[in-house]
Structure 1
Amino acid sequence: MIRVGIVGGTGYTGVELLRLLLPHPEVEVAVITSRGEAGQRVDGLFPSLRGHTDLKFSAVSGKDLQGLDVIFFATPHGVAMEMAPELLAAGVRLIDLSADFRLSDAALFAEWYHQEHSSPALLPQASYGLPELFRDEIRGSRLVANPGCYPTAVTLGFAPLLEAGLLEAGGLIADCKSGVSGAGRTARLGLILPESADSVTAYGVSGHRHRPEIEETLSRIAGADIQVQFTPHLMPMIRGIHATLYGRLHKPMSNEALQDLFAQRYAQEPFVDVLPFGEHPSTRTVRGANVCRIALHQPRPGQVVVLSAIDNLVKGAAGQAVQNLNVLFAWPENLGLAQIPLLP
């Protein structure tokens, strides 16, 4: 059994990590940190965890964390990169759920996240934590950059077509919708119920920080420069991401061939569910589970539409982080992740 810590345990991602890790048979959660809530019982802030943990939040330093095997960073951008050098030097493995190590270019990070990267030398060491594509790199890694929620849904949807060289590089569109939990637990006017209910709002149309992450990953898959028009929308729901992905094929394929491509690509992936051709995955069918459901459409010959749905807090964040933990230690990848989606 390994001992793990969660740095930043009061946000939605932090408590979701704790929900998934507490029953994990190979894990002891030894530390969960919060400067603002230090000394308070975790189940006092999150009563859903009553009877499952006696942990208290603590305000610990990097040195206090050095005896752990793995640390999860569920923190705002900028925290993990400050603490990573000392922890890595002490032999701790890190899984970062922020954006600090997702982009390979420190200048690109500074451009989109409006802060200088304090540990650029570590960027080449970071593996991009999307196991379905980069499992071998993750397996030997000491620093895993957990992907963003939107990039997870978009990348899994486009990947089989790009790997096979079937998509025209220009004109890719990712039209995505997310629940309000994706914006975090901090109170903001636009996220309160009277402002977000009964309304759909696009944001970041001229440029969203997940776009360079999506384009870098897709370009890596394709072996060529890929640009995507990525448009996110805020939906009046708590959890979920739905991505509608548009592309043009170099030449038309039969519906059966498209379906077979995706079915074979993800046949051995426990957390990607390829639905029958022409179906419509919905966010409510993945709620609470570490799964991406995908369906294909070809409205006209050569025009392909991929629908991709995930829970932004699970496959889009905490669940994927636990999946990466399982890969790191060569455990069955679905260990601790067998939750059935919640309905209604």
Structure 2
Amino acid sequence: MAQLQRIGIVGGTGYAGAELLRLLVSHPQAKVVAVTSRGDAGTPVADAYPQLRGVVDLDFVAPDADNLADCDVVFFATPHAAAMHDVPALLEAGKRVIDLSADFRLRDASLWAQWYGTDHVCPELIERAVYGLPELNRDRIAGADLVACPGCYPTAVILGFKPLIDAGLVDKDSLIADAKTGVSGAGKSLKPGFLFAEMHDSFKAYGVAGHRHLPEIRQILGDLAKDDVGLTFVPHLVPMIRGIHATLYGRLNTQADLQTLFETSYAGEPFVDVLPAGATPETRHVRGGNMCRIAVHRPGGGDTAVVLSVIDNLVKGAAGQAVQCFNLMIDAPENSALAAPGALP
């Protein structure tokens, strides 16, 4: 059995940090010993999250090295361009780091700077980071000391396209990802476009000219294809709290049994569920759980594969995936703290 790991969560007041706490407090090999917040240092965690009263008896602390000194594993649930300032010292001190932000996802530091608006402060660590999608990198994650957890959109899109690209069944130059997210994907900061009166009864595309997740998706799909891919990615904001629904289109270059392909590709994967032929997954069917549910269709028997891929953006798209990686890193059962199904309604 894996040894008990002392856990630090940097950025504990955001939605992803809250999900990490919710999951890790029930993990048999994890003990959360530090939860950081610059603005709430000194206040009880349970004041921010009343659902954790009687479960988490900690105060928020400032995010400095002394407060993380007793940790074996540190999770970063911080905005982009924050973790990279602290990760080098933590690795030097022998900590293992799981970063939920984008700081170490892109292998090209100049491309990262272009999309995130600032220079990377430790580009020498980018190659050291392992992309934290277990369905692609399970063995490498197990031996890593720095894991870059994928974004929520990339998780749904990559898992949806992977079997088709692996099998060489689609034109890699004309892939389309039409994806929707709930408002929790934008975090807790107050923004006019995310107010209830602005979001309710509305539905809009955004980032059409280019979204930060686009280079990440292209990078990983390109790895699968062993070549550059052509991808049109259009995200949308819908008036729900949580969830990602990705509708993916690929032009088939040959006839194949797509249902069998997907079932075979994900046979034995604990957190990918390929639905029966003709099914359509819904975001509410994964709410609160770490499952990615996928269905594959060929409308009218034509030459276009349509893949429907749904996840909870805060779980499989963030905190749950991070815990899944943590389980691999400490040689715990991969479903530890993640086995509960999603919540309905």
The interval holding the TM-score normalised by the smaller chain is over 0.9
**2:326 pairs with 1:306:** no
In the aligned structure 2, how far is the partner of 1:278 from the partner of 1:105? 40
Tell me by how many angstroms 1:35 deviates: 1.0
Give 2:329's aligned residue. Answer: 328
**2:169 pairs with 1:169:** no
Secondary structure of the 2:218 match is helix
Secondary structure of the 1:103 match is coil
Q: Is the contact between residue 31 and residue 57 of structure 1 (CA under 8 Å) also seen in structure 2? A: yes
Q: What code does the residue aligned with 1:310 have?
A: I
Tell me by how many angstroms 1:165 deviates: 1.3
Give 2:86's aligned residue. Answer: 83
**2:13 pairs with 1:10:** yes
Unmatched runs of 5 consecutive residues or more in structure 1: none
Tell me by how many angstroms 1:250 deviates: 1.2
In the aligned structure 1, how far is the partner of 2:207 from the partner of 2:111? 17
In the aligned structure 2, how far is the partner of 1:316 from the partner of 1:338? 16
In the aligned structure 2, how far is the partner of 1:118 from the partner of 1:66? 22
Which structure 2 residues correspond to residues 1-344 of structure 1 after superposition, within 5 A? 1-253=4-256, 257-299=257-299, 300-344=301-345
In the aligned structure 2, how far is the partner of 1:120 from the partner of 1:237? 37
In the aligned structure 2, how far is the partner of 1:301 from the partner of 1:199? 33
Q: Is the contact between residue 252 and residue 301 of structure 1 (CA under 8 Å) also seen in structure 2? A: no
Q: What code does the residue aligned with 1:55 have?
A: L
For the aligned residues, what is the CA RMSD? 0.8
Aligned-residue identity in percent: 59
In the aligned structure 1, how far is the partner of 2:108 from the partner of 2:170? 26
Return structure 1 stretches of 4+ with deviation > 3 angstroms: none
Unmatched runs of 5 consecutive residues or more in structure 2: none
In the aligned structure 2, how far is the partner of 1:262 from the partner of 1:216? 22
Tell me by how many angstroms 1:196 deviates: 0.2
In the aligned structure 1, how far is the partner of 2:268 from the partner of 2:69? 36
Tell me by how many angstroms 1:79 deviates: 1.4
Tell me by how many angstroms 1:303 deviates: 0.9
Q: What code does the residue aligned with 1:35 have?
A: R
Q: TM-score of the superposition, structure 2-length normalised?
A: 0.98
In the aligned structure 2, how far is the partner of 1:273 from the partner of 1:215? 24
Q: TM-score of the superposition, structure 1-length normalised?
A: 0.98
Residues 4-13 or 62-71, more deviating:
62-71
Tell me by how many angstroms 1:114 deviates: 0.4
Secondary structure of the 1:124 match is coil
In the aligned structure 2, how far is the partner of 1:160 from the partner of 1:268? 14
The count of aligned residue pairs is 341
Tell me by how many angstroms 1:302 deviates: 2.1
Secondary structure of the 2:263 match is helix
Tell me by how many angstroms 1:52 deviates: 0.9
